[in-house]
Structure 1
């Protein structure tokens, strides 16, 4: 009885750790991991073990903007189990990153985009054990080509962050409850053309949708959306399309 009370306040509680076999990934890419649960020195009942793909989103409110954790995807690993003292469980796990996972590997500007995998172990009458593993997310070829095209056209990436909400156009809708914005400004003084461009990407298995928000020096602001098939990525064509859109 005394040992059960010790477990209930977290003394001798089980520990959990998730080991990613690779933390360098692209949105939509498969990954594998091993979840290691090490029991404490008392018997404990696990009521659930979950992994969650997380990011940090900017939320707008009447009191001002703030950042909050956001779940992109969640996976249940263990439902219920009793751990015996000193027991170690090793659970292999395989899944796929959500196709709309924000890019984190951005070398320019203020980068406020982060992604991680959180592990939660719910132990009856005990404190939760948690684990947090960063994931380094790289752009797919379509997104990379758009970023290169913006640079070639004389625009500099000044900020990237993840906003809470959905993107909805006549051609596509996002599903993750958040979207990344890459904010570009002209590298030099431009009297005509956009003074700011924001790109948001919604990748799918074989194509990537792009929402372009244009803030012009003179004239009205506007939105344009494009879709690039992954087997038809062409940097020169993307440059031509963007030049035409920017006017």
Structure 2
């Protein structure tokens, strides 16, 4: 019977179960994630090599002029060394880790989830999935709010494959696309594309593409040759939060 149970467990029938319980499911980049992994033994004793957590999202990748969504692992964490769980036994493994500073925020179509897996030889690894909400940190929030206060509306936010020159650690960046719906830039700009790159010191590097609305005879050629776009790179520190609206306004005015 024991051999039969082990055979069933190897294909996932009567195997150990895993359940991850988070202390909170809303966090900001750089914040500490805390929780516990609960393992419940199945119908037979099992040797588990490790418990691993992986933080995941998806991003848009382009190939042959077509875009498709692919899964990406933002980071991976080991929770436990090898151990044995007996039939019906329950074990708990507390964990904590820092949410990477470059974790995308869950705005628009962006989703972030934590996958928990048990590494078991010759068996299907039991897994558990928990979605989390990643909110902008105060500096990021100030930047996004300032852009909206200047008359822009967020049209979409997506993670997209990054050109090699823009890559830091991950193969993608999160892009926020704004359109002017009021204020002084309505009618002057087509859109504003923004990428936020936080670092461990709390600063945010901002990559901004200002897409001017070109009028007149040369407008068609200007747009075709991307002459109507200006790429700007600047840094916003936490101390600049009270003045970030004026800083962004000045930059947009300079390139519009």
The alignment's C-alpha RMSD in Å is: 1.9
Show the 5 A alignment for 1:71-150.
Answer: 71-104=73-106, 106=107, 111-150=108-147
1:211 to 1:63, Cα distance in 2 relative to 1, 3 A = closer
In structure 2, distance between residues paired with 1:34 and 1:167: 37
The answer for unaligned runs of 5 or more in structure 2 is 215-221
Shift of 1:96: 0.6
TM-score by length of 2: 0.86
What are the superposed Cα offsets for residues 172-211 of structure 1, whole Å, 9 maximum, x if unpaired?
x63222210000111159443x211111111112211110
In structure 1, distance between residues paired with 2:138 and 2:164: 21
Partner of 1:10: helix, strand, or coil?
coil
1:212 to 1:230, Cα distance in 2 relative to 1, 3 A = same
In structure 1, distance between residues paired with 2:135 and 2:206: 16
Partner of 1:244: helix, strand, or coil?
helix
Give the structure 1 partner of residue 238 of structure 2: 230
1:246 to 1:156, Cα distance in 2 relative to 1, 3 A = farther
The answer for unaligned runs of 5 or more in structure 1 is none
- 1:44·1:124 contact (CA, 8 Å) conserved in 2? no
- Which sits farther off after the overlay, 141-150 or 29-38? 141-150
- 1:19·1:35 contact (CA, 8 Å) conserved in 2? yes
Give the structure 1 partner of residue 206 of structure 2: 210
Aligned counterpart in structure 2 of residue 180 of structure 1, from 174, 177, 186: 174
- 1:145·1:238 contact (CA, 8 Å) conserved in 2? no
TM-score by length of 1: 0.89
1:167 to 1:21, Cα distance in 2 relative to 1, 3 A = farther
In structure 2, distance between residues paired with 1:134 and 1:102: 13
In structure 2, distance between residues paired with 1:135 and 1:166: 27
Shift of 1:129: 1.0
The number of aligned residues is: 238
In structure 2, distance between residues paired with 1:118 and 1:160: 23
Shift of 1:74: 0.4
Give the structure 1 partner of residue 157 of structure 2: 160
Give the structure 2 partner of residue 58 of structure 1: 60
In structure 2, distance between residues paired with 1:66 and 1:226: 30
Shift of 1:168: 4.0
1:245 to 1:90, Cα distance in 2 relative to 1, 3 A = farther
Partner of 2:49: helix, strand, or coil?
strand
- Structure exhibiting the larger radius of gyration computed from Cα positions: 2
